[in-house]
Amino acid sequence: MTDNAQIIVDTTLRSAPPAELEPGKVYAFHTPNGVHQVDLTGPDHTGVLSRKTGTTTVRDAQSFLTYWDKHHDDNSEVYADSDRLTVTAVLDAHTPGTARWGGHRLHLALRETTAWQQWTRNDGQLLDQEAFAEFLEDHLPELLEPSAADMLEIAQSFQAAQKVDFQSATRLSSGQRQFQYVETATTKAGQKGQLTVPEQFTIGLVPFEGSEGYKLTARLRYRIGQQGLRLGYKLERPDEIRKTAFADVVKAVGEQIDTTVMNGTAA
C-alpha cells in the first residue's frame, strides 16, 4: 500500500462515526499495528464489583453475628483459634465442587478491657503502701468480697499509716493477716498499732469487651524490709479464666449460626 493510500485509510478511520460498545464485554480491533483489545468487564465500566473482597474486623460476638447474617452462604466456614483468641469466617469459602476466592472474610479480634489489663499487669507485683491503697481505691467496682466499702476502709488505713515502722505480720484463724507496727511520728513515737487485711479477696472482671464477667481470687502478697511494707496480690489462674471467656464467646457464636465452628486457622 502506497503512502497516499495509507493516508486515505487512516483519514477514513478517524472520520468514521464512533462505535457504541456494550459494558461487560471484551472487544478486539484490527489496527495497522496489530490487534487492539478493549476490556469493558471491570467495575469501572459495569458499575458492579465482580466479587466481595476484604476483611472486616469486629470486637464482639454480636457484631460478628450481625455481619455474618448479612453476608454468609451455605458454604461459608468459621474457624476459632484459641492461641490467638480470634474467630475468623471465610464467607466465600470453596464449595464441595467449585473453587472460590476465599477473599471475603470476617475477623473477630477480642480486645481486653482496661480493668483486666490493669489487674493482670500488677499481678505478682509488690507496691508501696500508698500505691497499693490507691490501686484498691481506683478499682472498687471490681471488688466483690470483702465488699468495696470494706476494702476502701482498708485502703484508707494504709494511707493513714505512712509514718510507721512495720515489724511483723501474723496470720489469724479468721484467714486474715495482721500487721504489727510502731509509730515513728514525733508526737506518737513508740506507740504500737496493727492493721488487719484479708489474706484473699474476690474480684469480678470482664476479660474482653462485650464478654461476660468472671470471678477471680486474689491472694495477698507482702514483704517487710528496708523499704518498709510492700503489698500486692497474686491472681489464681487468670490464663484459665481468659481461655474460658474465649470459649464462651465461641460458644455464643456457634449457638447462633448453622455452621460448625472449626478449631484452627483458615488458609
Residue of 42, 6, 40, 3 whose CA lies nearest to 29: 40
- What is the separation, in whole angstroms, between the first and last Cα of the chain? 59
Q: How far apart are CA 88 and CA 219, in angstroms?
A: 37
Q: How far apart are CA 201 and CA 142, in angstroms?
A: 11
Residue of 207, 201, 189 whose CA lies nearest to 249: 207
Residue of 104, 110, 105 whose CA lies nearest to 61: 110
- Beta-carbon count within 10 A of 151 CB: 23
Question: What is the pTM assigned to this prediction?
Answer: 0.78
Confidence (pLDDT) at 28: 76
- Beta-carbon count within 10 A of 21 CB: 12
Confidence (pLDDT) at 15: 59
Residue 236's Cβ-side half-sphere holds a number of Cα atoms within 13 Å equal to 12
Confidence (pLDDT) at 6: 61
Split the chain (267 residues) into runs of 10 and give each run's mean pLDDT.
Answer: 58 62 74 73 67 93 97 97 95 95 96 97 94 94 94 88 81 86 71 86 96 96 88 96 96 96 93
Which cell numbers hold the place of 11? 483519514
